[in-house]
């Protein structure tokens, strides 16, 4: 509750003053009455007390009304009156003094006057009106004393002295009390004022926030009083109806907005009765004829006392939302209609299909009525024989559904079959593994006795030859040949098993095809001579080098050439090697083996590559052989990425062609010069420049090492995928890419982890090369002697490698360069 | 004279190879299983062991490991096996054999391989 400062001060003072004032006035009045032996001072006192009581009551009332600023002047009047009465009462002692002329009473009168002055000052600080009114007794006192006709009477000195002392004490006491409480009152007032200020500010802020919220919401909002008149209305509302605040405030809705719908008035009435109303998408035609849709609601609002203070209404234009929704609804409706039409079309098609089915069924029935009757009965679509109008729609539908069910059943069967197949495949895989294992074991068991047979036979041959027993030697050789044949067969079977099991490992290396062919010729020369055949090799002058498994390729070539020899008598066997570089495909090499032998018929050709099939079963008897050779050749050539093909004419001869890819490396890419054997260290020279490359190669070979010369980093990299080398000489000026990057890449290879690399560069930036992993940096121009000494210093003899490796890694042997082949 | 220990459980094969090796001028002793091979290798200290892989009591690979543990690189081991699958060769080299030859033995190849091993040992 906010009280006025003056009233509050007055109330505080009054509360402090009540006891002392009552006591003082009472004592003064009583003693004075006794002194003059008259009753009127007592009546005076009673009157004062009555005024005092009224003041207390009325002050509180005033305080409770204080909220209304209108009564502030009345507060001052009241305070003035009350203070005046109080002062007059205080005047009782001065009057007594004047009337008795007693000295002691005069002292008391002074004290009382001082008390009055204190009171007046206090009151003056509260209110000017009250202060002035309080001072009036000081003005009226002389007048009153002059006017009062009092008779001088003799009183007891002792008693009048007593009264004077008491009055003096009371007066002084009041002064002391008043001064004492003065500060306290100020403090209390100050605190109250601050609180009031804070409360006021908070209230003002709340009011402001409420007002802001009310004004700035995009919703239209209006507040009505209990009579349904506009109390407040926000900007949104005003702009919506295009009116000003003055047009609305204080007027009812019906009065200010006659175009508003009646439902609004009803809603406001209802809100004043305590009921809320809410409407969504309320259609309304604005004054300008535009159709709008509104969401609106009206609620009662309540005073702090809980009374209905009026109504509050909100409204929002939702025309756009309504339009979007309506659009969606329309779309939905169109979609539904379309679906319905589609359904109709489908139904039509279905009907057509059913009719067709029915027609089919009927035709089937007419074709073989007795046989089909059962089936059709199953499908429920058989028309009764005596029903000329054909099957009913229901029957057709039932038949159709049965057909569908049959299809489902078939799908199910199919799924089962697929699962069974998958299981079968799994079993087959296990069986295949078991077979491979069996093959390996069988091969082992066959080879072990053959080992003894061949060993002893060779010893027998040696012995027989040593002793000059020619016949025995020849016999033993026959045993040896047979054993070798058997071994060959076992090996072929084993190879096939390996290929089938995917365990055929290939070792790629650079192969000179001319050398390979000549090697095979050398092995088969005696056989060819025995059959009276002429072996010829047609190949280009420069060596054809391919990256392939030489051992396997040799095996294939051996098979083809030995077959050619076998089926040719007193004829020609010609091997032709040709490099082919079609523009649109990878380059390849064709190795064709042409003979002038018996040839094959077309029918025989078709069975040619099947295992254990020879062109004619009779050939087995005539020419021997297992019939596995060609199968194995085809499989192996495929593994090597090539193909084998055949052309043949019975009685004229056959031509078998092996086509192998000229994979990555051609003669111009990496040239390998083996001047020593396999155990000789191999140095890889990577140099794009012909002159310096040749110089490096001479330096390497001058030291007695094998040399591989690569012109590009790419070809060197391809080469290193298949070969280990003992030292690398890298010219940083390479044609494809950056030399240092290539050096980095070489160093990252596991196989080159401890292979020394010598860098040949244009500059002298040794640090860069060494950091990149080189062991030696040579600046151009490099002489053969400098290069040679670097190679000699860095390369480690192979034997050292072995020792070091074994010591460092017991149980492991990494004898580099050792190329062990399974030889059988 | 180079000393060769031949570990082979197949009696005929062992006899055959011992005779041929003796004829070729080697000092040859035979062992009939892996355990025997280890014992003889440690006591006799041959220059080279021809080690059959499949043997009773102790396999050739196990025997090779034991010999390598005791004698280090001072002894050369050539594995002999009738298994021709690639993984068996890898297994042999892994177990510490220096070389690998398949049975039936290609005699010239074996002789080459042995001379290489003696060379390696000498250097």
A806 contacts in chain B (CB < 8 Å): 72-73
Q: How far is A816 from A756, CA to CA, in rounded Å?
A: 14
pLDDT exceeds cutoff 70 at A558:
yes
Interchain pair A451, B103: CB under 8 A: yes
Q: How far is B102 from chain A (nearest CA, A)?
A: 7
Lowest mean pLDDT among A90-104, A225-239, A296-310, A779-793: A90-104
Q: In which band, very low, low, confident or very high, does the pLDDT at A23 lie, cut at 50, 70 and 90? A: confident
In angstroms, the CA A744 to CA A741 distance is: 5
**Which residue is closest to B62 within chain A, CA to CA?**
A811
Q: Whole-number mean pLDDT of chain A?
A: 75
Is A440 in contact with B65 (Cβ distance < 8 A)?
no
What is the per-residue pLDDT for A546? Answer: 81
Report whether pLDDT(A19) > 50: yes
Q: Look at residue A621 in the predicted model and tell me its pLDDT.
A: 46
Residues A531 and A649 placed together within one structural domain of the fold? yes
Spatial distance between the Cα atoms of A534 and A27, rounded to a whole number of angstroms: 169
Tell me the C-alpha to C-alpha distance, in Å, between residue A112 and each of A25, A79, A167.
10, 20, 7
CATH number, position A259: 3.30.450.20
Q: Does A329 fall in a domain?
A: no
Same domain, A639 and A530: yes
Upstream peptide bond of A716 is cis (omega within 30 degrees of 0): no
Mean pLDDT value across residues A587-605: 85
Count of C-beta atoms within a 10 Å radius of residue A73: 11
Same domain, A511 and A653: yes
Q: What is the pLDDT of residue A60?
A: 72
Give the per-residue pLDDT at A6: 64
In 3-state terms, what secondary structure has residue A684? strand
Q: Give the least confident one: A256-270, A389-403, A797-811.
A: A797-811
C-alpha distances out from residue A421 to A408, A412, A500, A530, B64, Å:
20, 14, 20, 53, 47
- Which pLDDT value is given to residue A206? 81
Tokens linked to A482: 């047979």
Computed on alpha carbons and rounded to an integer, the radius of gyration of chain B in Å comes to 13
- Nearest to residue B121, comparing CAs of B33, B24, B13, B2? B2
Contacts 24+ apart (CB under 8 A), A666-669: A666/A545, A666/A587, A667/A542, A667/A543, A667/A544, A667/A545, A668/A711, A669/A710, A669/A711, A669/A712, A669/A715, A669/A718
Contacts of B10 in chain A (CB under 8 A): 448, 451-452
Q: Single out the residue in A259, A285, A317 at which a domain terminates.
A: A317
CATH code, A771: 3.40.50.2300
User: In angstroms, rounded to a whole number, what is the distance separating the alpha carbons of residues B72 and B61?
Assistant: 15
Burial class for A5, CB neighbours closer than 10 Å (0-12, 13-18, 19+): middle
Q: Is residue A135 predicted with pLDDT exceeding 70?
A: no
pLDDT at B49: 92
Task: Give the separation between CA B74 and CA A231, rounded to whole angstroms.
Answer: 115
- CA-closest candidate to residue A278, choices A262, A300, A298, A302: A298
Same domain, A469 and A543: no
Cross-strand partners of A302: A308
pLDDT at B5: 93
Weakest-pLDDT range from A348-357, A720-729, B3-12: A348-357
Instruction: Walk me through the domains of chain B, giving residue ranges and CATH numbers.
Output: 3-122 (3.40.50.2300)
The domain total for chain A is 5
Residues A626 and A749 in one domain: no
Q: Which has more confidence, A369 or A732?
A: A732
C-alpha span between A75 and A54 (Å, rounded): 13
Q: Which helix (H) or strand (E) is A680 found in, with range?
A: none
Given a cut of 50, whether residue A761 has pLDDT beyond it is: yes
User: Is the residue at A417 inside a domain?
Assistant: yes
Cβ contacts of A455 on chain B, cutoff 8 Å = 13, 16-17, 20, 104-105, 107
The per-residue pLDDT for A181 is 64
Residues A430 and A511 in one domain: no
Residue A629 has a pLDDT of: 82
Domain end, chosen from A271, A296, A317, is at: A317
Asked if A812 lies within 8 A of B94 by C-beta distance, the reply is yes
Both A477 and A591 in one domain: the answer is no
Shortest distance between the Cα of A822 and any Cα of chain B, in A, equals 7
**CATH code, A656:** 3.30.565.10
In a domain, A149, yes or no: yes
**What whole-number percentage of chain A has pLDDT above 90?**
2
How confident is the model over A419-444, as a mean pLDDT? 82
Neighbours of B84 (CB within 10 A): 21
What is the CA A172 to chain-centroid distance, rounded? Answer: 89
Per-residue CA distances from B53 to A89, A454, A455, A824, B8 (Å): 141, 19, 18, 17, 8
**pLDDT > 60? residue A579:** yes
What residues does A708 pair with on adjacent strands?
A672, A684
Q: Are A539 and A653 found together in one domain?
A: yes
Chain B residues touching residue A680 (CB < 8 angstroms): none
Contacts 24+ apart (CB under 8 A), A44-50: A44/A89, A44/A92, A45/A89, A45/A92, A48/A85, A48/A86, A48/A88, A48/A89, A49/A22, A49/A25
Q: What is the pLDDT of residue A729?
A: 92
Q: What kind and span of H or E run contains A28?
A: helix A5-36
The mean per-residue pLDDT over the stretch A177-187 comes to 68
Asked if residue A823 is part of any domain, the answer here is no
- The residues, ordered by sequence, that sit 6+ positions from A670 with a Cβ below 8 Å of its Cβ are A510, A545, A708, A709, A710, A711, A715, A716, A718, A719
How many percent of chain A have pLDDT more than 70? 70
Q: What's the CA gap between A312 and A226, in Å, rounded? A: 11
Give the CA distances from residue A497 to residues A329, A494, A501, A504, A548, in Å, rounded to whole numbers and listed in that order.
72, 5, 6, 9, 21
A332 assigned to some structural domain: no
Shared-domain flag, residues A423 and A310: no
- How many other C-beta atoms lie within 10 A of the C-beta of residue A407? 10
- What is the rounded distance in angstroms from the CA atom of residue A674 to the CA atom of residue A669? 16
The burial of B48, by beta-carbon neighbours within 10 Å (0-12 exposed, 13-18 middle, 19 or more buried), is given as: buried
ipTM at complex level:
0.84
Cis peptide before B104 (omega within 30 of 0): yes
Of A259-268, A628-637, A713-722, where does the model show the most confidence? A628-637
**Closest CA relative to residue A252, chosen from A230, A222, A223:** A230
Per-residue pLDDT of chain B (123 residues; tens, 9 = 90+): 889 999 998 888 899 999 989 988 999 999 988 888 899 989 998 989 999 988 888 888 889 988 888 888 788 899 988 876 666 777 888 888 888 888 888 888 899 988 888 888 777
Helix axes A157-216, A5-36, angle to 10 degrees: 160
> How far is B63 from chain A, CA to nearest CA, in Å?
12
Q: What is the pLDDT of residue B50?
A: 92
More confident residue, A688 or A633: A633
Is residue A638 in a domain? yes
Single residue among A661, A678, A712 that ends a domain in this structure? A661
How far apart, in whole angstroms, are the C-alpha atoms of residue A451 and residue A730? 48
Contact between A517 and A591 under an 8 Å Cβ cutoff? The reply is: yes
Instruction: Look at residue A783 and tell me whether its pLDDT is greater than 60.
Output: yes
Q: Between chain A and chain B, how many beta carbons pairs sit less than 8 Å apart?
A: 109
Lowest mean pLDDT among A184-193, A523-532, A679-688, B114-123: A184-193
pLDDT at A805 over 60: no
> Range of A680's domain?
670-808
pLDDT at A269: 87
In the stretch 92-121 of chain B, residues with CB closer than 8 A to chain A read: 93-107, 109, 116, 119-120
DSSP H helical ranges for chain B: 11-23, 34-44, 60-71, 86-95, 107-122
**Test the B interface: residue of A807, A811, A815 with most B CBs within 10 Å:** A811
Q: Is the pLDDT of residue A810 over 60?
A: no
- The pLDDT tens digits of the residues spanning A493-527 come to 888 877 877 777 777 777 888 888 998 888 888 88
pLDDT at residue number B7? 92
The distance of B39 to chain A (nearest Cα, Å) reads 18
In chain A, the residue whose alpha carbon lies closest to the alpha carbon of B84 is: A822
CB atoms within 10 A of CB B8: 26
- Whether A396 and A513 share a structural domain: no
pLDDT of residue A576: 92
Summarised one tens digit per residue, pLDDT across range A393-417 is 677 678 778 888 888 888 888 888 8
Give the list of residues 6+ apart from residue A423 with CB closer than 8 angstroms, or none: none
Mean pLDDT of A290-299: 85
Per-residue pLDDT at A180 exceeds 70? no
pLDDT tier at A728, thresholds 50, 70, 90: very high
> Do the Cβ atoms of B84 and A452 come within 8 Å?
no
Q: For the purposes of burial, counting CB atoms within 10 Å of the CB of B27, is it exposed (0-12), middle (13-18) or buried (19 or more)? A: middle
Say whether both A43 and A189 belong to one domain. Answer: yes
Quick check: is A54 in a domain?
Answer: yes
A403: its two tokens: 């057909």
Q: Is residue A758 part of a domain?
A: yes
Q: Residue A624: is its pLDDT beyond 80?
A: no
Pair (A233, A87) in one structural domain: no
Q: Please give, rounded to a whole number of angstroms, the shortest distance from the CA of B89 to a CA of chain A.
A: 9
Assess contact for A119 and A179: CB atoms under 8 A. no
């Amino acid at each position: 509750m906010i009280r006025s400062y003056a009233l509050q001060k007055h109330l505080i003072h009054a509360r402090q003053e009540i006891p002392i004032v009552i006591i003082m006035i009472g004592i003064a009045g009583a003693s004075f009455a006794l002194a003059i032996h008259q009753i009127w001072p007592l009546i005076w006192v009673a009157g004062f007390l009555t005024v005092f009581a009224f003041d207390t009551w009325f002050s509180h009332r005033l305080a409770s009304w204080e909220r209304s600023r209108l009564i502030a002047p009345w507060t001052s009047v009241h305070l003035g009156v009350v203070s005046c009465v109080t002062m007059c009462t205080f005047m009782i002692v001065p009057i007594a003094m004047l009337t008795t002329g007693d000295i002691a009473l005069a002292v008391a009168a002074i004290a009382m006057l001082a008390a009055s002055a204190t009171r007046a000052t206090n009151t003056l600080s509260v209110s000017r009106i009250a202060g002035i009114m309080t001072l009036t007794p000081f003005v009226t006192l002389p007048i009153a004393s002059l006017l009062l006709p009092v008779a001088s009477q003799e009183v007891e000195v002792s008693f009048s002295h007593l009264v004077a002392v008491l009055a003096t004490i009371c007066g002084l006491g009041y002064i002391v009390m008043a001064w004492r409480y003065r500060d306290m009152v100020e403090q209390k007032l100050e605190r109250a004022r601050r609180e009031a200020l804070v409360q006021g500010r908070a209230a003002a802020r709340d009011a402001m926030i409420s007002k802001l919220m009310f004004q700035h919401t995009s919703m239209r909002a209006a507040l009505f009083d209990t009579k349904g008149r506009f109390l407040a209305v926000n900007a949104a509302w005003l702009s919506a109806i295009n009116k000003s605040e003055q047009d609305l405030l204080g007027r009812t809705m019906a009065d200010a907005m006659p175009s508003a719908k009646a439902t609004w008035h009803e809603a406001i009435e209802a809100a004043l009765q305590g009921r809320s109303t809410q409407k969504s998408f309320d259609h309304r035609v604005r004054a300008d004829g535009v159709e709008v849709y509104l969401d609106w609601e009206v609620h009662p609002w309540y005073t702090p006392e809980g009374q209905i203070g009026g109504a509050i209404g909100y409204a929002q234009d939702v025309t756009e939302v309504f339009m979007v929704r309506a659009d969606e609804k329309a779309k939905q409706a169109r979609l539904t209609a379309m679906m319905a039409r589609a359904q109709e079309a489908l139904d039509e098609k279905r009907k057509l299909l059913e009719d067709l089915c029915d027609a089919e069924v009927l035709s089937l029935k007419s074709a073989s009525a007795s046989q089909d009757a059962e089936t059709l009965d199953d499908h429920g679509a058989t028309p009764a024989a005596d029903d000329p109008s054909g099957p009913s729609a229901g029957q057709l539908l039932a038949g159709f559904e049965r057909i569908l069910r049959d299809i489902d059943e078939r799908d199910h069967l199919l799924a089962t079959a697929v699962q069974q197949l998958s299981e079968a495949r799994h079993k087959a895989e296990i069986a295949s593994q078991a077979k491979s294992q069996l093959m390996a074991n069988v091969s082992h068991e066959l080879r072990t006795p053959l080992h003894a047979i061949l060993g002893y036979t060779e010893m027998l041959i040696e012995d027989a030859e040593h002793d000059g027993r020619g016949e025995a030697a020849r016999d033993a050789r026959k045993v040896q040949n047979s054993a070798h044949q058997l071994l060959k067969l076992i090996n072929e079977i084993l190879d096939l098993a390996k290929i089938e099991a995917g365990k055929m490992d290939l070792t790629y290396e650079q192969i000179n095809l001319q050398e390979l062919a000549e090697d095979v010729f050398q092995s088969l020369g005696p056989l060819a001579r025995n059959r009276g055949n002429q072996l010829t090799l047609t190949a280009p002058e420069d060596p054809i080098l391919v990256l392939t498994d030489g051992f396997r390729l040799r095996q294939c070539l051996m098979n083809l050439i030995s077959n050619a020899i076998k089926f040719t008598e007193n004829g020609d066997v010609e091997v032709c090697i040709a490099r082919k570089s079609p523009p649109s495909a990878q380059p390849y090499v064709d190795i064709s083996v042409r003979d002038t032998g018996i040839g094959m018929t077309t029918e025989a050709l078709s069975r040619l590559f099947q295992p254990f099939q020879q062109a004619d079963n009779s050939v087995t008897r005539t020419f021997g052989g297992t019939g596995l050779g060609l199968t194995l050749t085809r499989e192996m050539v495929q593994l090597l990425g090539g193909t084998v093909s055949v052309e043949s004419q019975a009685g004229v001869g056959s031509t078998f062609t092996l086509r192998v890819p000229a994979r990555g490396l051609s003669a111009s890419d990496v040239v390998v010069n083996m001047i020593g054997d396999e155990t000789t260290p191999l140095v890889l020279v990577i140099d794009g420049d012909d002159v310096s490359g040749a110089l490096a190669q001479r330096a390497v070979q001058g030291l007695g090492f094998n040399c591989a010369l690569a012109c590009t980093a790419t070809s060197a990299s391809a080469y290193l995928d298949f070969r280990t080398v003992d030292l690398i000489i890298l010219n940083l000026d390479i044609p494809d890419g950056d030399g240092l990057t290539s050096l980095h890449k070489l160093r990252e290879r596991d196989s080159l982890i401890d292979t020394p690399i010598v860098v040949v560069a244009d500059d002298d930036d040794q640090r860069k090369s060494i950091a990149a992993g080189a062991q030696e940096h040579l600046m151009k121009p490099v002489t053969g002697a400098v290069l040679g000494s670097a190679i000699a210093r860095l390369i480690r003899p192979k034997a050292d490698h072995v020792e070091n490796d074994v010591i460092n890694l017991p149980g492991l042997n990494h004898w580099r360069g050792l190329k062990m082949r399974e030889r059988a | 004279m180079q000393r060769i220990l031949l570990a082979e459980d197949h009696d005929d094969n062992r006899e055959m190879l011992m005779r041929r090796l003796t004829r070729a001028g080697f000092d040859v002793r035979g062992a009939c299983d892996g355990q025997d091979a280890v014992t003889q290798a440690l006591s006799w200290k041959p220059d080279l062991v021809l080690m059959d892989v499949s043997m009773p009591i102790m396999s050739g690979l196990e025997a090779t490991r034991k010999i390598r543990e005791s004698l280090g690189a001072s002894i050369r081991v050539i594995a002999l096996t009738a298994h021709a699958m690639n993984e068996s060769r890898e297994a042999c080299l892994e177990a510490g054999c220096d070389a690998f030859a398949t049975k039936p033995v290609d005699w010239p190849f074996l002789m080459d391989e042995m001379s290489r091993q003696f060379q390696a040992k000498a250097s």
